[in-house]
Structure 1
Amino acid sequence: MSTYFISGIDTDAGKTFATGLMAKYLLDKDVNVMTQKFAQTGCVGISEDILAHREIMGVEPYEVDKDGTTCPYVFTYPASPHLAAKIDGEEIDVNVINDSTEKLESAYDTLLIEGVGGIHVPITLDYSLLDYLEEKKHPLILITSSKLGSINHTLMTLELAANRKLPIHGLIYNHYPNNSDVILEDSIQVFKTYLKKYGYDCPVVEIPEFKIGESPEVDFSPLFKL
C-alpha cells in the first residue's frame, strides 16, 4: 500500500487537477487507486474536489464517495477548515480523517490524499496541516505553478518542509497560466536548485498548459515506479 499527500503552495495552485490526473494515470496502468480529500469547504454534499477527480478519471462517483469516506468533512463556508468548521458548528477531529484513510488503505493499493490550500493551513485553532504532515510522514507531492508569487510561496514551503523533516516525493509544476515562457523556464531551474539546497532528490514533473475541459497526457512515471 502506498499513500501520498498532495499539497499546493497555496490555494488554486492546481492540486485538484493534478490529483485527478495522477489518479487517471495510475488507473490506466491498472493500479487499484483511490483519492481522498482531507476536508472540503464551500460545498454541500459530496466533495466537489472528489467529484472533479472522478470526472478526470472518467468514472462515476464510488460508494466510498457517496458515504463520505473519501471526504468525511464537508463545510458550507469557503474558508480555512478551522473557520469553516466553526461557522457550521463543528470541529475537525483528525482521528475521523485518519479512520477514513485507514479504511481506504485497506481496500486500495495506492491512495492519493489531496490537502487544503497550502501546508500551513489551520485545521483547528492550534493544529495545522503542517502538524498533521509531520506526524503522518506521508510522501509529499507538492504542486506549484507559473503564476506570479509562486517562487516565493514554493521556496517558503520547501524550507518549512525541510525544517519539519517532511519527505518530499516530487514537485509538480503546473504551466497554467503560462504568461511568460521566460519566467516558466527560470522558475523550474530555481525550484530544482532549491530542492537540492534543502536536501531533496526528487523529480519535477510538468503539467502543460491546457484548455478548460481538457485532460492533458502527463507522464507521471518519475513519481510512480510501476
Structure 2
Amino acid sequence: MKQAYFVTGTDTGVGKTLIASALVYQFAQQDLKSLGMKPIAAGCELVDGNFVNEDVTQLIAASNVQAPVKLVNPYAFAPPIAPHIAAQQAGATISLDVIADAFMQLSALADVVIVEGAGGFCVPLDDHATMADLAVKLNIPVILVVGMRLGCINHALLTVEAIQSRGLKLAGWVANQLDPDMPVFEENIATLKLQIKSPYLGMVPWSPQPLHQNTPALISKLPI
C-alpha cells in the first residue's frame, strides 16, 4: 500500500527536517522503498551550477530510493527567507500543480513519500496560495512537529486548528525539545497531550548534534 505524510511545524527551525528524515530512514529500515521530498527550499548554496540545500541533502541521505533532485526539490532559492519573497526576488512562480506532479512521480518510485513543508503551516507561497494549500492539494495525512519552547502551546493549537479546519487528517504530533532548560517542560507536554486529540508520536530530546537515526521509532505509533 502506498503511503505519504506531510510534515509541518509550529514555526521555522523547529525540527521538521529532523523528523521527516527520521521517518524516511525508519520506513527504509522496514525494507520499504522510502523517499523524502522538500518541494520548496529557501537558503541554498550554488554548487557546480546547482542550488544545494542542507534539508534536501539530509532527506536524500535518509532515502533508499534514488530520484531526480528536480522531483525531490522542485523549487530552490538562494536567500534563507520566506518562500514567496524568495520566489519574487528570483522572478519565479511557485506552482502547486508542478509540485503535485513531482509528488506523483515520486510516489510511483516509492512505497512511502515523506513531504516536508517550508516554514510554518500557513506560510505564503505567492499572493494567494499558502503551504496549507499545498497540503490540501496533495491531500495526505499531516504530522505536526511542535518546537518545545515558550509559546509552543498556542502555536501548536493554532496549527492543529488550521490543519483540521481544512479537512486534513492530523496523523499525529511530535515534540522536539529546542530548549534544554525550558521551564515546566513536562507540564507543557501534558497540556499538549490533553488538548491535541491526535496521537502523540513521541518526544525528541534536546541534543547539540541531532541525527535522524537517533530519533524515536515514530512509525509504530502512526495511525496507518
8 Å CA contact 1:146–1:183 kept in 2: the answer is no
What's 2:68 paired with?
Answer: 64
Q: Is the CA contact 2:11–2:147 (under 8 Å) kept in the aligned structure 1?
A: no
After superposing the two structures, state which structure 1 stretch, 18-27 or 40-49, moved more.
40-49
RMSD: 2.0
Residues 74-132 of structure 1: CA deviation (Å, up to 9, x unaligned) = 01122111110010111111111111100000110000000011110001111111222
Instruction: Tell me the distance in 1 between the aligned counterparts of 2:192 and 2:150.
Output: 14
Contact 2:100 2:137 in 1 (8 A): no
2:17 is matched with which residue?
Answer: 16
CA distance in 1, matches of 2:137, 2:32: 27
Cα distance in 2 for partners of 1:39, 1:63 equals 16
Structure number with higher strand proportion: 2
The 2-side partners of 1:113 and 1:203 are apart by: 19
Per-residue CA shift, 1:174-208, capped at 9, x if unaligned?
Answer: 1232213x522112122122213xxx4x2332112
For 1:119, what is the secondary structure of its paired residue? coil
Q: Which moved more, 1:94-103 or 1:205-214?
A: 205-214
- 1:219 aligned partner: 217
Structure 2: which 5+ runs fail to align?
A: 46-50
Once the two structures are TM-superposed, the CA of residue 53 in structure 1 deviates from its matched residue by 2.3
Could you tell me how far apart the structure 2 residues matched to 1:114 and 1:63 are?
Answer: 16
Match of 1:3 in 2: 4
**Residues in 2 aligned to 1:159 and 1:224: alpha-carbon distance in whole angstroms:** 19
Q: Which residue of 1 aligns with 2:58?
A: 52
Name the structure 2 match of 1:115: 117
Q: Following superposition of structure 1 onto structure 2, how do residues 62-101 of structure 1 map, counting pairs within 5 Å?
A: 62-65=66-69, 68-101=70-103
Contact 1:3 1:111 in 2 (8 A): yes
TM-score by length of 2: 0.88
Partners in 1 of 2:223 and 2:136 — Cα distance?
22
3-state SS, counterpart of residue 170 of structure 1: strand
Query: For residues 213 and 136 of structure 1, what CA distance do their matches in structure 2 show?
Result: 29
1-structure distance, mates of 2:215, 2:169: 26
State whether structure 2 residue 154 is matched by structure 1 residue 147: no
Asked if the contact 2:36–2:63 (Cα under 8 Å) also holds between the matched residues in 1, the reply is: no
- Structure 1 residues without counterparts, runs of 5 or longer: none
Query: Amino acid of the residue matched to residue 223 of structure 1?
Result: L
